[in-house]
Amino acid sequence: EHTGPAPRFAPPVARAPAMKKAAGRALRSISSKQPAAHRAAASARGLRPLPPSQAARNERRQPQQRVAPLVTEQIAAARLGKVVTPLTTGPTTLDTSKGRVLLNSSDLRSLQDDYDRVAELRGLATTLLNDGRPKTMQELEAKRAEIIDYFHKTFSLTEHLHEAFTNSPAFYEKHEQLRHPPIFYLGHTASFYVNKLHLGKYITERIDPVLEMQMAVGVDEMSWDDLDSNSYVWPSGAEAREDEARATEFLQKVLNFRSEVRALVDNMMKTMPMEWPIHKDSFWWVIMMGIEHERIHFETSSVIHRQADLASVRPQAMFPLCDKGRFHRDPDSAAARSIQDNTLVPIPAGKTRLGRSWDGTKTYGWDNEFGVEQQVDVPAFAASEFLVSNKEFLDFVRDQGYQTQRYWTEEGWSWVSDMKPERPRFWRQRDDGYYYRVLSEEVAMPWDWPVEVNHHEAAAFCKYLSEKTGKKLRLPMEDEYMRLRDAVPTDLQDSAHGPAWGNETPGNINLAHWASPCPVDLFKSPVGVYDVLGNVWQHSATAIDVLDGFQTHPLYDDFTTPTIGLLHTRMMGGSFISTGNLSTRDSRYGFRRHFYQHAGFRYVESDRPVVNRVSPYEDDRQLCDALRFHFDEPLIGNNFHVGLVDACLQTFASVRGSSDFSGTQAMEIGCGPGRAAIELAKRGVAKVHGVDRTAKAFQFTAQRVLTEGGKLRWMNYLEGEHVQKRELTAEQLGAVGSAAEHLSFFQTPDFAAIDTNKFKDYDLIVCAQPGALGASGDAIGVLSNMHRLLKPGGVLVVGTQYEWAAPADIAKNASDGEDVLASVLQQWFEPVGTAMDLPYAKAETARKFECGKQHLTFWKRRATPVDAQAAQSVETQAAAPSDDASCIGQAVYDDDATIAQYLDFHYGPTSEYPAACASKCIQAVLTLGIKPERALEVGGGPGRAAIELSRVFRHVDSGDYSQRFVELAKQLVETGELAWRSPPLDQAVGKTVERRVRASEFEAGNVSFMFMDAMKLPEKLKNYDLICGFNLIDRLEDPKAFLLAVKARLKPGGLFVLSSPYTWLEEFTPKENWLGGFKYGDNDGPTTYTGLKAAMLAEGFEEVLEPEDIWFRIDEQANRRRSQRTRAELTYWRLSE
């Protein structure tokens, strides 16, 4: 027995099966669908050529064969007692002038220059971006060269890592079933540069749009069984094994793409102006973003490599293993038993810094590192002297830790039950003992190296050890770890923490020592704790959250926000292969608890409870719209809820004769997220109850705002999938202290059946949110129950648009909804105050709004009803509302409701939009000197815009997909008159008004109407001077195909006019056909206007007038209390002559 390396045994290992859902997919075409942008020359993409000297060097280069560094690897292997996996025979036909991946001695180089010196690729420091002093021109150029060098070495590091694979199919296997295969990460890290430079408008053309979109985003699995079953442009593992030549061809395609991206970025760095200091809005920050992003995936790719079949990988000299340690197959050997026991080291109470400021930052950082810098008081605790070693963790394995439920959290035990682990993932147990999997090989178990486990396993061990020792042991929290880290006063680069450590790297980190873990007793900090940075990442008990003052970076707003919540926990300190930002003191990374990284843990002893208050960004569309309506500043008008409370309390104070609300008890029915209820509590109302039909409506407010330090986070939807992230704190809302204490929320499924034994004796009841009165489907029942909730003399506030149907018995004698409301309430209530209309606007997108006016009426409860018999009669009717044909309201007009709305929209007394669009077209044609001969309107509805155009154009054709609309337009032109019933005045009574319009009012010219499918325009429609489509483009299945059809039907020099609010929906347009407003991966695609412009310019159109906004309104009721208001964008495109 000995303490040195032990011989390795390497039995054959079976290839992991390909993912079952991928096996049946056909191999995609690799080369037949190359986009034009990829085939075009670099000059056509607006790229500057390489400097002459560089171009000449490239031209002189000849394909070279690189001798595989097996000699040095065999020497290293012999020292460790290892056997190197022999190379297998594979493809040898790859283009050796591109790429940088070694396949069976075929060397695929992307740039064969100084960046091939592999020794210089390790141990690099991230670039200093600000040192607080100005730079000379010479110093600026030196900084430029430094960043260029850092970029190329990072790019090469990724490619060298992938040289470990010995055959093409290995690039397509999902070695980690919850991650993409290696081929993805080769393309992803390169496409990131293009996507961010394009998003930042530093470039306008792409290299390979298909690859850049498909390789835009990785996998962030929700659960360990959340298998990715999407289809991609690359082959599956099974397909790659079946057709290795095709797999190699696609690999070459990706390597060529990397080569072009490298050249693009290199050229831009050499030609863009150098800036100093480099701040987050700089081009150079974007370059650093790409570099540091690639370094993240360099590390995560190494975890994937570590799980690849040994037959598919081989060791590499540039990634040496640590040869120090107590290696032995036998856990009871003298080597294993000689490991020092782990002890607890006292750490005194003290302060630590969390966060740093964007202003003046010295180094690159991700958005979650920045915010309000905090000095946090950390109570005393004791930390384990060492990271938990493989030997220490063995006790947990032997004591049936993986089979004992009480050691695991609920989530952790669910993972154990599903995945059935028996030992850490990188352990190998064979007949002759234990082995350990490192990057590309297996070695005898190094018992004094840190164990590498996921968060669930680390937390379970702490619970086990606590039970075994009787101590309160757990994982450290973020600030406790920072106290340990502060003991090492240096950082990778000069930073807010301290000076750069230079050549004295104080831990096994940044590839400065090895490409593997090392013994846990090598790197001791001044406080007596080992490995406070590096060796392996350290799990913590802290769920990742952002700092106060957090702001996303505009070019990468999804880096952090998807991880905010209780599903991701912080990992600290970095690992042996953490480079760049990953190895800095202030980096903040969070991973799901079942996720494997090169990660281990230490434990701490403390009585301090672990508290995680994290508010994730809500993305449920319906809830986000509600939060936006309640808590954001409205894009139109004032905040409805604040105005509602102003009106309620003003009238209440007038009725009570006092503005002192200290003894007042109030209820809001249909409170939603609760802004009005909060406002009531803020104004001093002693007790406020918010009631809604579902807890989902208010639980976010109750759980995330009305708590100490509470935050509410949601997304405002702007266009398609584009969002704006919003945050509101309890302090900003004023919902702190007594206001929060006086407010409670309750769920009541039926507002007409509120439990009056539990809820009663209120002084004020408000039921005035849009839609609240009719939400239960029984508005009359809700109103009839109000007197049971209120004290005599109490005030009821009702707000409604009368959008609910009343039973025929009540409605038949009423002229409108106000009459219905009064007839129901008058038995127990008398009107007080002055009725008023309170406007609101609910934003659905940045351009579309639901608008309305809540008619507020105020009622004082009587002590007794004026007519008890009548009151009983009304309540009886309300309890069983009629649902047959005698019920007046929307049911009468269901078949014609949409027709009535659109006829009002085109020809009603308040119609504006269709005529305005036609007027804009006529004005544009005359301004541009186009002769108004022939015009075509596509999607013209009942025809108002076409009729307006016919007053100027010699002939107008108009069509719509709705045959009913076409018939109505023909009727007006051919008979000279059109009559219809308006939308109901309100739904409570359902009365309508007859509308009538005559063609003579419009002086219609030569216009014809026909059925028309915009996606199949009739061939006879040709030679138009004007083609227009209003509110059309975002409702077509294939907008680009429509644009091509328009081009074929316009005269040269003809004008094409579009107006649209860009409200994309997948029910109309598949997402892959959206012109903009989509996301690809973590990138926002172009806005629709930008995408439309690119499509139009590509087809030979010129934008001839500035875009302009034009509003339109669709009234859902003739009382104009409920409508849709939308801001469309009008754009003008002229076909080249």
pLDDT tens digits along 6-24: 322 222 222 222 222 222 2
Which tokens sit at 1069?
């347009």
Residue written as tokens 């991609």? Answer: 232
Beta-bridged to residue 979, according to DSSP, are 996
Q: Is 252 exposed, middle or buried (0-12, 13-18, 19+ CB in 10 A)?
A: buried
pLDDT of residue 532 exceeding 90, the answer is: yes
**Closest C-alpha to 1079, from 729, 593, 670, 562:** 562
Q: Would you say the pTM of this structure is higher than 0.85? A: no
What CA–CA distance (Å, rounded) separates 302 from 158? 10
Task: Report which of residues 916 and 120 the model is more confident about.
Answer: 916
The tens digit of pLDDT for each residue in 772-818 reads 999 888 999 999 999 999 999 999 999 999 988 888 888 888 888 89
CB 801 within 8 A of CB 837: no
| Average pLDDT value for residue range 265-284 | 96
- Classify residue 757 by its DSSP letter: T
What CA–CA distance (Å, rounded) separates 372 from 717? 27
Query: Kind of pairing, strands 381-384 and 604-605?
Result: antiparallel
- The average confidence (pLDDT) of the chain is 85
Contacting residues for 16 by C-beta, under 8 A, at least 6 apart: 173, 175, 309
CB 190 within 8 A of CB 266: no
Alpha-carbon distance values, 420 to 132, 269, 403, 452, 637 (Å): 55, 50, 9, 17, 58
Q: Alpha-carbon dihedral of residues 161, 167, 172, 178, nearest 10 degrees?
A: -60
- 468: pLDDT confidence band, cut at 50, 70 and 90? very high
Task: Report which of residues 460 and 776 the model is more confident about.
Answer: 460
Least confident of 40-49, 524-533, 598-607, 680-689: 40-49
Task: Report which of residues 379 and 701 the model is more confident about.
Answer: 379
**Closest C-alpha to 282, from 364, 185, 386, 176:** 364
Least confident of 33-37, 538-542, 839-843: 33-37
CB 397 within 8 A of CB 291: no
Which tokens sit at 805?
């149907």
Which tokens sit at 343?
């002890």
| Average pLDDT value for residue range 494-498 | 90
pLDDT at 110: 40
- 119: pLDDT confidence band, cut at 50, 70 and 90? low
pLDDT of residue 1014 exceeding 70, the answer is: yes
| Own/partner long-range contacts of 350-355 (Cβ < 8 Å, ≥24 apart) | 350/377, 350/378, 350/483, 351/375, 351/376, 351/377, 351/378, 352/376, 352/378, 352/479, 352/482, 352/483, 352/486, 353/482, 353/486, 353/496, 353/497, 354/478, 354/479, 354/482, 354/547, 355/547, 355/586
Give one word for 186, left, alpha or beta, with left for phi > 0 and alpha for psi -120 to 50. alpha
pLDDT of residue 378 exceeding 80, the answer is: yes
Alpha helices in 431-477 (DSSP H): 455-469
The tens digit of pLDDT for each residue in 624-648 reads 999 999 999 998 889 999 999 999 9
pLDDT of residue 758 exceeding 60, the answer is: yes
